[in-house]
């Protein structure tokens, strides 16, 4: 609720009580989340197009400047640990690079030539997907990346808060979140930044699900980088295959990863497992076969081979 002065006018924001300030900041964030909903149809088209490209050996490229670049990098860096997405298939381009001591280089946002050079140096082509993130949709660096990538056949996606912007016009797909005026004028780290983070979360998660890196709601490709995640993999195998944790742990030890462990517990020999995964394009559910409609694998063979 906006506090009004005695004359009925809104007092300067910096004079508001902390509670009222937090309320209006929260309302701005809630509005940003609501703005993403109207962009879901465009986001769906972008996800489906990306899956077609990335089902092969394509790369996923994140490009942005300033805070948009940092938000993009955060999403990109989570893909490996969560979905085992290969680092060599993830490119993160922040205009001017990024130094944790000083943050992004604000001046580099204007470096359109640098954006085009990055695309050429990477040799982007028809199998690649490029996400350009810019709240205003006017960052010269980001627009140049998207424009050059599209010209070279890559699929391009603009994530912006302004529909009539150069970035939107340059891309194959435009995901526009109309977040409106910021509580702090011009500070895109607020509503626009929240919308960007949500759009990227939705996009990358949906892409990874469609690529078979999730079974039901389980992270079957999670990397066992620590004790907690090793236990999580055991629990995942146990849940899918319907076996006790020790049996799941033994299967993981024998087969090496979640998919192969589940297929082994379903009664497949090693050669059959590899053939089934290749035939299924790496999708565990397809590899298990149409005769198994349950969440879990068949449990006709739980013994070591």
Q: Is the pLDDT of residue 295 over 70?
A: no
Of 85, 78, 97, 82, the residue nearest 60 (C-alpha):
85
Query: Same domain, yes or no, for 86 and 177?
Result: yes
Known catalytic residue at 52: no
137-170 pLDDT per residue, tens: 999 999 999 999 999 999 999 999 999 999 999 9
DSSP state of 179: -
For position 274, which CATH number holds? 1.10.8.1080
The span from the first CA to the last CA of the chain, in angstroms, equals 66
Q: What is the pTM of this model?
A: 0.89
Query: Whole domain around residue 181: which residue ranges?
Result: 18-210
| Mean pLDDT calculated for residue range 30-35 | 93
Residue 296's SS3 state is coil
Q: Which two tokens stand for residue 41?
A: 């149809």
pLDDT of residue 303: 38
* Across 5-14, 64-73, 197-206, 250-259, least confident range: 5-14
Query: Same domain, yes or no, for 181 and 237?
Result: no
Per annotation, catalytic residue among 109, 148, 182, 221: 109
Known catalytic residue at 78: yes
- % residues pLDDT > 90 (the chain): 83
Query: Same domain, yes or no, for 256 and 157?
Result: no
The number of beta carbons lying within 10 Å of the beta carbon of residue 154 is 24
The number of beta carbons lying within 10 Å of the beta carbon of residue 137 is 25
Query: Same domain, yes or no, for 304 and 288?
Result: yes
Locate the DSSP E strands across the chain: 60-64, 90-94, 98-99, 103-104, 129-133, 155-160, 173-176
Q: How far apart are CA 160 and CA 135, in angstroms?
A: 5
The number of beta carbons lying within 10 Å of the beta carbon of residue 217 is 7
What residue has token string 């146990």?
Answer: 238
Cβ atoms of 133 and 72 within 8 Å: the answer is yes
pLDDT of residue 109: 92
pLDDT interval class at 8 (50, 70, 90): low
Per annotation, catalytic residue among 23, 52, 78, 253: 78
Query: Same domain, yes or no, for 57 and 197?
Result: yes
242-277 pLDDT per residue, tens: 999 999 999 999 999 999 999 999 999 989 999 999
Query: Same domain, yes or no, for 107 and 27?
Result: yes
């Amino acid at each position: 609720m906006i506090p009004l002065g005695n004359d009925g006018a809104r007092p300067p924001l910096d004079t508001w009580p902390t509670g009222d300030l937090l309320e209006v900041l929260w309302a701005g964030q809630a509005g940003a989340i609501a703005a993403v909903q109207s962009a879901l149809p465009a986001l769906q088209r972008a996800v489906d197009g990306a899956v077609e490209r990335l089902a092969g050996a394509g790369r996923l490229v994140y490009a942005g400047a300033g805070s948009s670049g940092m938000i993009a990098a955060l999403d990109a860096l989570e893909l490996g640990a969560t979905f085992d997405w290969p680092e060599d298939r993830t490119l993160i381009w922040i205009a001017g690079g990024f130094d944790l001591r000083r943050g992004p280089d604000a001046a580099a946002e204007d470096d359109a030539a640098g954006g085009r050079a990055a695309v050429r140096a990477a040799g982007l082509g028809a199998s690649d997907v490029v996400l350009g993130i810019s709240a205003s949709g006017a960052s010269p660096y980001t627009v140049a990346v998207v424009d050059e990538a599209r010209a070279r056949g890559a699929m391009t996606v603009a994530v912006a808060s302004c529909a009539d912007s150069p970035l939107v016009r340059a891309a194959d797909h435009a995901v526009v979140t109309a977040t409106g005026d910021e509580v702090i004028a011009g500070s895109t780290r607020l509503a626009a930044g929240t919308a960007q983070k949500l759009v990227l979360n939705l996009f990358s998660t949906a892409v990874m699900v469609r690529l078979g890196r999730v079974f039901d709601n389980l992270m079957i490709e999670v990397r066992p980088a620590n004790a907690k995640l090793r236990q999580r993999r055991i629990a995942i195998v146990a849940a899918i295959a319907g076996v006790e944790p020790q049996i799941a742990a033994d299967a993981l030890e024998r087969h090496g990863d979640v998919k192969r462990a589940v297929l082994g517990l379903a009664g497949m020999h090693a050669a059959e497992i590899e053939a089934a995964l290749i035939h299924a394009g790496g999708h565990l559910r397809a590899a298990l076969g149409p005769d198994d409609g349950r969440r879990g694998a068949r449990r006709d063979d739980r013994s070591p081979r």
